[in-house]
Amino acid sequence: MKALLLFLLLAIGNINIYSQTFITSQVIEFKDKRPKDRGGDIGGDLPIRRSISFQPIYAWLYNNVISLDFEDLLPTITISIINETTGVTIYLENYNNLNSIIIDLSTEKSGYYLIRIEYDDIILEGNFVLE
């Protein structure tokens, strides 16, 4: 019985499994490009202001389509996507009162890209790769 169990275990363990790769979405992390306002001074007379970084926009890339979800309703924003290799802007749009948006990049070449989102006095930039 043990020999049969061992034989079955080895036979099943050597079976080739043909499966497709699991495609996951690529999360795009944004960095704030505003100059830092530290307030205070280093001498110790005034405290230096610090705050937790708040991410108002969530973005991810899946199957060459960018999905953007906004935490709050933003009055006016500008979204631009730039090919980092060539420096060419491939997408530039202004939007008003937006909750979410989907940008299809399936016609673009593979490579490294930069997405820039501007609203109020805030500039957010994130990098992603099209494959």
Q: What is the pLDDT of residues 60-117, one digit of tens each?
A: 999 999 999 988 888 899 999 999 999 999 999 999 988 899 999 999 999 999 999 9
Domains of the chain, each with CATH number or no CATH: 26-130 (2.60.40.3080)
9-to-1, 12, 18 alpha-carbon distances in Å: 12, 5, 19
Model pTM score: 0.69
Could you tell me if 68 and 81 are in contact, meaning their C-beta atoms sit under 8 angstroms apart? Answer: no
Gap between the Cα atoms of 34 and 81, Å rounded: 19
Give pLDDT tens digits for 8-32.
777 776 666 655 555 677 888 888 8
Residue indicated by tokens 């930039």: 125
Instruction: Give the residue carrying structure tokens 């673009």.
Output: 108
Angle, vertex CA 31, rays to CA 25 and CA 32, nearest 5: 145
Q: Would the pLDDT of 126 be above 90?
A: yes
Write out the H or E segment, with its range, that includes residue 2. Answer: helix 2-13
Q: Cα Rg for the chain, rounded, in angstroms?
A: 24
